[in-house]
Chain A
Amino acid sequence: MINVILATHGSLADALLASSRMVYGELPHVFPVMLTENKGINSFGDEFAAVLKQASKGADGVVVLCDLQSGTPWNVACHHAFNPDTQPPVTVLAGVNFPMLLLSDEIKDLQDVEQATAQLLANTQETLVQATLAETAQSDDF
Protein backbone atom coordinates (compact mmCIF):
# COMPACT_ATOMS: atom_id res chain seq x y z
CA MET A 1 0.00 0.00 0.00
CA ILE A 2 0.98 3.60 -0.57
CA ASN A 3 0.78 6.24 2.16
CA VAL A 4 0.73 9.98 1.56
CA ILE A 5 2.43 12.86 3.36
CA LEU A 6 0.88 16.27 2.89
CA ALA A 7 3.70 18.80 3.37
CA THR A 8 2.83 22.50 3.20
CA HIS A 9 3.73 26.03 4.20
CA GLY A 10 1.46 27.04 7.06
CA SER A 11 -1.87 25.41 7.83
CA LEU A 12 -2.77 24.43 4.23
CA ALA A 13 -2.30 20.70 4.93
CA ASP A 14 -4.66 20.66 7.92
CA ALA A 15 -7.15 22.84 6.02
CA LEU A 16 -7.11 20.53 2.97
CA LEU A 17 -7.72 17.54 5.24
CA ALA A 18 -10.60 19.34 6.98
CA SER A 19 -12.15 20.07 3.56
CA SER A 20 -11.63 16.49 2.39
CA ARG A 21 -13.55 15.20 5.42
CA MET A 22 -16.64 16.93 3.98
CA VAL A 23 -16.39 15.07 0.69
CA TYR A 24 -14.63 11.72 1.27
CA GLY A 25 -14.71 11.38 5.08
CA GLU A 26 -11.48 10.38 6.81
CA LEU A 27 -8.36 9.77 4.70
CA PRO A 28 -6.35 7.59 7.13
CA HIS A 29 -3.54 7.07 4.60
CA VAL A 30 -2.70 10.82 4.66
CA PHE A 31 -0.23 12.29 7.17
CA PRO A 32 0.00 16.10 7.37
CA VAL A 33 3.17 17.99 8.26
CA MET A 34 3.45 21.78 8.22
CA LEU A 35 6.20 24.38 8.18
CA THR A 36 5.24 27.14 10.60
CA GLU A 37 6.74 30.56 11.16
CA ASN A 38 7.34 30.04 14.87
CA LYS A 39 9.00 26.61 14.63
CA GLY A 40 11.31 27.18 11.67
CA ILE A 41 13.09 25.03 9.10
CA ASN A 42 15.17 22.78 11.39
CA SER A 43 12.20 21.82 13.48
CA PHE A 44 10.25 21.11 10.27
CA GLY A 45 13.02 18.72 9.15
CA ASP A 46 12.74 16.78 12.42
CA GLU A 47 8.96 16.70 12.25
CA PHE A 48 9.07 15.55 8.63
CA ALA A 49 11.45 12.68 9.52
CA ALA A 50 9.13 11.59 12.33
CA VAL A 51 6.04 11.73 10.09
CA LEU A 52 7.89 9.85 7.34
CA LYS A 53 8.76 7.11 9.83
CA GLN A 54 5.10 6.85 10.78
CA ALA A 55 3.88 6.89 7.15
CA SER A 56 6.47 4.26 6.16
CA LYS A 57 5.15 1.66 8.59
CA GLY A 58 3.72 -1.22 6.58
CA ALA A 59 3.80 0.85 3.35
CA ASP A 60 5.30 -0.18 0.00
CA GLY A 61 6.03 3.47 -0.69
CA VAL A 62 5.26 7.03 0.39
CA VAL A 63 4.16 9.86 -1.89
CA VAL A 64 4.85 13.35 -0.54
CA LEU A 65 2.42 15.98 -1.82
CA CYS A 66 4.03 19.42 -1.47
CA ASP A 67 2.35 22.74 -2.02
CA LEU A 68 5.19 24.30 -3.98
CA GLN A 69 8.20 23.17 -5.97
CA SER A 70 11.51 24.20 -4.37
CA GLY A 71 9.96 25.38 -1.12
CA THR A 72 11.24 24.07 2.22
CA PRO A 73 8.74 21.17 2.42
CA TRP A 74 9.82 20.16 -1.10
CA ASN A 75 13.54 20.42 -0.29
CA VAL A 76 13.20 18.34 2.86
CA ALA A 77 11.03 15.74 1.09
CA CYS A 78 13.49 15.48 -1.83
CA HIS A 79 16.35 15.00 0.62
CA HIS A 80 14.63 11.80 1.80
CA ALA A 81 13.30 10.75 -1.61
CA PHE A 82 16.71 10.79 -3.31
CA ASN A 83 18.63 9.23 -0.44
CA PRO A 84 19.39 5.67 -1.66
CA ASP A 85 18.99 4.35 1.90
CA THR A 86 15.38 5.53 2.19
CA GLN A 87 13.05 2.57 2.65
CA PRO A 88 10.31 2.21 1.50
CA PRO A 89 10.85 4.39 -1.60
CA VAL A 90 9.58 7.97 -1.46
CA THR A 91 8.39 10.16 -4.37
CA VAL A 92 7.59 13.87 -4.32
CA LEU A 93 4.95 15.88 -6.20
CA ALA A 94 4.51 19.65 -6.08
CA GLY A 95 1.33 21.67 -6.62
CA VAL A 96 -0.99 19.75 -4.32
CA ASN A 97 -4.61 20.82 -4.63
CA PHE A 98 -7.95 19.51 -3.42
CA PRO A 99 -8.59 17.07 -6.31
CA MET A 100 -5.05 15.67 -6.01
CA LEU A 101 -5.52 15.00 -2.31
CA LEU A 102 -8.89 13.27 -2.92
CA LEU A 103 -7.53 11.27 -5.87
CA SER A 104 -4.70 9.99 -3.67
CA ASP A 105 -7.40 7.76 -2.13
CA GLU A 106 -7.47 5.85 -5.44
CA ILE A 107 -3.77 4.97 -5.59
CA LYS A 108 -3.33 3.93 -1.97
CA ASP A 109 -3.84 0.22 -2.72
CA LEU A 110 -1.08 0.07 -5.34
CA GLN A 111 2.37 -1.32 -4.52
CA ASP A 112 4.70 0.49 -6.92
CA VAL A 113 5.17 4.04 -5.69
CA GLU A 114 6.55 5.31 -9.04
CA GLN A 115 3.54 3.96 -10.90
CA ALA A 116 1.18 5.32 -8.22
CA THR A 117 2.75 8.77 -8.46
CA ALA A 118 2.59 8.88 -12.27
CA GLN A 119 -1.08 7.85 -12.16
CA LEU A 120 -1.94 10.41 -9.48
CA LEU A 121 -0.27 13.21 -11.45
CA ALA A 122 -2.02 12.22 -14.69
CA ASN A 123 -5.43 12.00 -12.98
CA THR A 124 -4.93 15.36 -11.25
CA GLN A 125 -4.05 17.12 -14.50
CA GLU A 126 -7.46 16.11 -15.89
CA THR A 127 -9.14 17.97 -12.99
CA LEU A 128 -7.75 21.34 -14.06
CA VAL A 129 -10.58 22.48 -16.32
CA GLN A 130 -12.56 25.50 -17.38
CA ALA A 131 -16.32 25.25 -16.82
CA THR A 132 -18.43 24.71 -19.94
CA LEU A 133 -22.14 23.99 -20.34
CA ALA A 134 -23.32 20.49 -21.27
CA GLU A 135 -26.07 19.68 -23.80
CA THR A 136 -29.49 20.05 -22.12
CA ALA A 137 -31.61 18.04 -24.62
CA GLN A 138 -32.18 14.52 -23.24
CA SER A 139 -32.79 11.47 -25.45
CA ASP A 140 -35.06 8.57 -24.48
CA ASP A 141 -32.41 6.09 -25.53
CA PHE A 142 -31.82 4.17 -22.26
Chain B
Amino acid sequence: MSISFVRIDDRVIHGQLVTRWAKELPCDGIIAIDDAVAADPLLSSVMKGAVQDIKVWLFDTATAIEKLPKIIASEKRYFVIGKSPVTLKRIIEAGISLQNSNKKINVGPMSARASTTTIGPNQSVNPEEIAAFDYLVQHGHQIEFRLVPDASSYSWQDARQKLK
Protein backbone atom coordinates (compact mmCIF):
# COMPACT_ATOMS: atom_id res chain seq x y z
CA MET B 1 0.00 0.00 0.00
CA SER B 2 1.95 3.01 -1.15
CA ILE B 3 -0.81 5.60 -1.46
CA SER B 4 -0.81 7.43 1.86
CA PHE B 5 -3.49 10.03 1.06
CA VAL B 6 -6.12 10.65 -1.61
CA ARG B 7 -7.58 14.12 -2.05
CA ILE B 8 -10.00 15.94 -4.30
CA ASP B 9 -9.07 19.61 -4.72
CA ASP B 10 -10.18 21.81 -7.59
CA ARG B 11 -6.93 23.83 -7.40
CA VAL B 12 -5.18 20.47 -8.01
CA ILE B 13 -1.94 21.63 -6.35
CA HIS B 14 -2.32 24.43 -3.87
CA GLY B 15 1.16 24.94 -2.38
CA GLN B 16 0.38 25.84 1.19
CA LEU B 17 -2.42 23.24 1.49
CA VAL B 18 -0.30 20.38 0.13
CA THR B 19 2.52 21.29 2.51
CA ARG B 20 0.06 21.33 5.40
CA TRP B 21 -1.19 17.79 4.67
CA ALA B 22 2.34 16.51 4.00
CA LYS B 23 3.26 17.49 7.55
CA GLU B 24 0.53 15.19 8.90
CA LEU B 25 0.79 12.15 6.63
CA PRO B 26 3.79 10.35 5.10
CA CYS B 27 4.59 11.67 1.64
CA ASP B 28 7.58 10.98 -0.64
CA GLY B 29 5.89 12.34 -3.75
CA ILE B 30 2.68 13.82 -5.11
CA ILE B 31 0.73 12.48 -8.07
CA ALA B 32 -1.64 15.17 -9.34
CA ILE B 33 -4.22 14.21 -11.94
CA ASP B 34 -6.14 16.53 -14.22
CA ASP B 35 -6.56 16.51 -17.99
CA ALA B 36 -6.66 20.29 -18.43
CA VAL B 37 -3.66 21.03 -16.21
CA ALA B 38 -1.59 18.20 -17.71
CA ALA B 39 -2.33 19.54 -21.21
CA ASP B 40 -1.03 22.99 -20.28
CA PRO B 41 2.79 22.92 -19.87
CA LEU B 42 2.94 26.43 -18.46
CA LEU B 43 0.27 25.81 -15.82
CA SER B 44 1.88 22.43 -14.99
CA SER B 45 5.22 24.07 -14.43
CA VAL B 46 3.75 26.81 -12.26
CA MET B 47 1.82 24.30 -10.14
CA LYS B 48 4.82 21.99 -9.69
CA GLY B 49 6.86 24.98 -8.57
CA ALA B 50 4.35 25.65 -5.78
CA VAL B 51 5.56 22.68 -3.73
CA GLN B 52 9.11 22.75 -2.38
CA ASP B 53 11.10 19.70 -1.27
CA ILE B 54 8.56 17.09 -2.48
CA LYS B 55 8.64 15.62 -5.98
CA VAL B 56 5.48 16.27 -7.99
CA TRP B 57 4.11 14.46 -11.07
CA LEU B 58 1.24 15.85 -13.09
CA PHE B 59 -0.70 13.45 -15.31
CA ASP B 60 -3.81 13.44 -17.44
CA THR B 61 -6.28 10.73 -16.40
CA ALA B 62 -5.22 8.24 -19.11
CA THR B 63 -1.53 8.55 -18.20
CA ALA B 64 -2.37 8.26 -14.51
CA ILE B 65 -4.24 5.01 -15.19
CA GLU B 66 -1.14 3.71 -16.99
CA LYS B 67 1.35 4.82 -14.30
CA LEU B 68 -0.60 4.19 -11.07
CA PRO B 69 0.05 0.42 -10.87
CA LYS B 70 3.80 1.09 -10.76
CA ILE B 71 3.28 3.91 -8.28
CA ILE B 72 1.13 1.69 -6.02
CA ALA B 73 3.74 -1.09 -6.21
CA SER B 74 6.47 1.32 -5.09
CA GLU B 75 7.98 1.26 -1.62
CA LYS B 76 7.63 5.03 -1.43
CA ARG B 77 4.46 6.73 -0.25
CA TYR B 78 2.47 9.01 -2.50
CA PHE B 79 -0.32 11.53 -2.23
CA VAL B 80 -2.82 11.18 -5.08
CA ILE B 81 -4.73 14.40 -5.83
CA GLY B 82 -7.53 14.59 -8.38
CA LYS B 83 -9.23 17.79 -9.46
CA SER B 84 -12.69 16.25 -9.28
CA PRO B 85 -14.48 13.14 -7.97
CA VAL B 86 -15.21 12.43 -11.65
CA THR B 87 -11.46 11.95 -12.25
CA LEU B 88 -11.19 9.48 -9.36
CA LYS B 89 -14.30 7.62 -10.58
CA ARG B 90 -12.66 7.12 -13.98
CA ILE B 91 -9.51 5.74 -12.31
CA ILE B 92 -11.52 3.24 -10.25
CA GLU B 93 -13.54 2.28 -13.35
CA ALA B 94 -10.22 1.43 -15.01
CA GLY B 95 -9.66 -1.17 -12.30
CA ILE B 96 -7.22 0.75 -10.11
CA SER B 97 -7.67 0.68 -6.34
CA LEU B 98 -7.46 3.98 -4.51
CA GLN B 99 -7.43 2.29 -1.10
CA ASN B 100 -4.88 4.19 0.95
CA SER B 101 -3.35 4.19 4.41
CA ASN B 102 -5.43 7.25 5.41
CA LYS B 103 -8.46 4.97 4.79
CA LYS B 104 -10.62 7.64 3.16
CA ILE B 105 -10.87 10.09 0.30
CA ASN B 106 -10.37 13.62 1.54
CA VAL B 107 -12.15 16.52 -0.18
CA GLY B 108 -10.85 20.09 -0.05
CA PRO B 109 -12.03 23.16 -1.94
CA MET B 110 -14.56 22.72 -4.77
CA SER B 111 -15.52 26.16 -6.04
CA ALA B 112 -19.04 27.30 -6.78
CA ARG B 113 -19.78 27.12 -10.53
CA ALA B 114 -22.88 27.16 -12.71
CA SER B 115 -25.32 24.43 -11.58
CA THR B 116 -23.52 23.67 -8.32
CA THR B 117 -25.07 23.38 -4.87
CA THR B 118 -23.08 24.52 -1.83
CA ILE B 119 -22.63 21.78 0.77
CA GLY B 120 -19.98 23.36 3.01
CA PRO B 121 -17.40 26.15 3.33
CA ASN B 122 -16.00 26.66 -0.19
CA GLN B 123 -17.39 23.26 -1.20
CA SER B 124 -19.96 23.02 -4.00
CA VAL B 125 -20.98 20.10 -6.21
CA ASN B 126 -22.73 19.73 -9.57
CA PRO B 127 -24.93 16.77 -10.62
CA GLU B 128 -22.05 14.92 -12.33
CA GLU B 129 -19.93 15.25 -9.17
CA ILE B 130 -22.85 14.09 -7.00
CA ALA B 131 -23.09 10.94 -9.12
CA ALA B 132 -19.32 10.45 -8.89
CA PHE B 133 -19.33 10.76 -5.07
CA ASP B 134 -22.20 8.23 -4.95
CA TYR B 135 -20.07 5.92 -7.12
CA LEU B 136 -17.01 6.31 -4.84
CA VAL B 137 -19.13 5.49 -1.75
CA GLN B 138 -20.68 2.46 -3.51
CA HIS B 139 -17.13 1.27 -4.19
CA GLY B 140 -16.26 1.21 -0.50
CA HIS B 141 -14.73 4.63 -0.03
CA GLN B 142 -15.37 6.84 2.93
CA ILE B 143 -15.58 10.47 1.77
CA GLU B 144 -14.47 13.13 4.20
CA PHE B 145 -14.84 16.86 3.49
CA ARG B 146 -12.02 18.54 5.42
CA LEU B 147 -9.97 21.53 4.25
CA VAL B 148 -6.93 21.05 6.52
CA PRO B 149 -5.99 18.21 8.93
CA ASP B 150 -7.44 19.55 12.17
CA ALA B 151 -10.42 21.43 10.71
CA SER B 152 -13.97 20.21 11.27
CA SER B 153 -15.29 17.69 8.77
CA TYR B 154 -18.43 16.08 7.42
CA SER B 155 -19.06 13.00 5.32
CA TRP B 156 -20.68 12.52 1.92
CA GLN B 157 -23.65 10.98 3.76
CA ASP B 158 -23.98 14.28 5.72
CA ALA B 159 -23.71 16.30 2.51
CA ARG B 160 -26.29 14.05 0.81
CA GLN B 161 -28.89 15.11 3.42
CA LYS B 162 -28.51 18.74 2.31
CA LEU B 163 -29.01 17.84 -1.34
CA LYS B 164 -32.39 16.19 -0.89
Which residues of A approach B to under 8 Å, CB–CB? 21-26, 99, 102-103, 105-106, 126-127, 131-136, 138, 140, 142
Which residue of chain B has its CB nearest to the CB of A21?
B121
Among B114-151, those with CB < 8 Å from A are: 121-122, 147-148, 150-151
From residue A125, how far is it (CB to closest CB) to chain B in Å? 13
Contacts of B49 in A (CB 8 A): 131-134
Q: With A and B bound together, what is the CA distance between A126 and B16 in angstroms?
A: 11
Set of chain A residues within 8 Å of B104, measured between Cβ atoms: none
The answer to whether B20 and A106 have CB atoms under 8 Å apart is yes
Main secondary structure, interface of A, reads loop
Minimum C-beta distance from A111 to chain B (A): 17
By the criterion CB–CB under 8 Å, are A134 and B70 in contact?
no
Q: List 21 A-B contacts (CB under 8 A).
A: A21-B121, A21-B122, A23-B16, A23-B109, A24-B20, A24-B148, A25-B121, A25-B147, A26-B121, A99-B16, A102-B16, A103-B16, A105-B20, A106-B23, A133-B45, A133-B49, A134-B46, A134-B49, A136-B41, A136-B44, A136-B48
With A131-B49, A133-B49 as known contacts, state yes or no: A105 contacts B148, CB within 8 Å.
Answer: yes
Q: In angstroms, how far is the closest chain B Cβ from the Cβ of A29?
A: 10
The answer to the question of B58 belonging to the interface, with a C-beta cut-off of 8 Å to chain A, is: yes
Among B16, B67, B76, B151, point to the contact of A25 (Cβ < 8 A): B151
CA distance A100 to B6 in the complex (A): 27
Interface centre among B20, B52, B56 (most CB of A within 10 A): B20
Pairwise interchain contact A140-B67, C-beta atoms closer than 8 A: yes
Query: Are B58 and A23 interface neighbours, CB within 8 A?
Result: no
Please measure, in the bound complex, the distance between the C-alpha atom of A21 and the C-alpha atom of B152, giving whole angstroms: 12
**Given A22-B109, A22-B122, A25-B152 in contact, is the A138-B45 Cβ separation under 8 Å?**
no
Choose among A26, A126, A134 the residue that contacts B152 (Cβ–Cβ < 8 A).
Answer: A26
A131-B148 contact in complex given A21-B121, A136-B41, A140-B67, C-beta closer than 8 Å: no
Shortest CB-to-CB span from A13 to chain B, Å, is 19
**Residues of chain B within 8 A of A23, CB atoms compared:** 14, 16-17, 109, 122, 147
Please name all residues of chain B whose beta carbon is closer than 8 Å to the beta carbon of A22 when the two chains form the complex.
109, 121-122
A102 to B17, CA, bound (A): 10
What's the least CB distance linking B83 to chain A, in Å?
17
